Amino acid sequence: MEAKSMALMVIVVVAVAGMGEVKTAVAGLSAAQCKQERTLAENACKPVIYGKLPSPECCQRVRVTHLECVCPVITPQLAALIDLNRAIRLIEGCGRKVPRHYKCG
């Protein structure tokens, strides 16, 4: 798996995890703040790409990263590169419920 698709897996894991808690109060986040959130999530969850289970740090990052920062960078082409069912299982393993039929991206 190439580096870009590996990073995407982490972003999708974070995005799907945040699906249940879209918060309108974060609409004021800057592009730099969103980029920082995505970077923190990628770094915390990088081992997931290599088949590891999410660490407590990754699960925490999944719970706090704002969906509005992640979904805009996920295109259908990027989402096609990862196993969404695996991503959902990992998220639910972090204690998050994933709504059915939710679209991100």
CB 42 within 8 A of CB 73: no
Residue ranges of domains in the chain: 39-98
pLDDT at 6: 46
Mean pLDDT to the nearest integer, 31-39:
91
pTM over 0.85: no
**What are the φ and ψ backbone dihedral angles of 42, each rounded to 5 degrees?**
-60, -45
55 vs 46: CA distance, rounded Å: 10
What percent of the chain has pLDDT above 70? 73
Mean pLDDT to the nearest integer, 72-79:
82
Cβ-based neighbours of 52, under 8 Å, separated by 6 or more:
none
Domain 39-98 adopts which CATH fold?
Hydrophobic Seed Protein (1.10.110)
pLDDT at 24 over 70: no
pLDDT at 77 over 60: yes
pLDDT at 62 over 80: yes
Mean pLDDT to the nearest integer, 20-29:
52
pLDDT at 56 over 90: yes
Angular region, 91: left φ>0, alpha ψ -120 to 50, beta rest: alpha
Averaged pLDDT score across all residues of the chain: 76
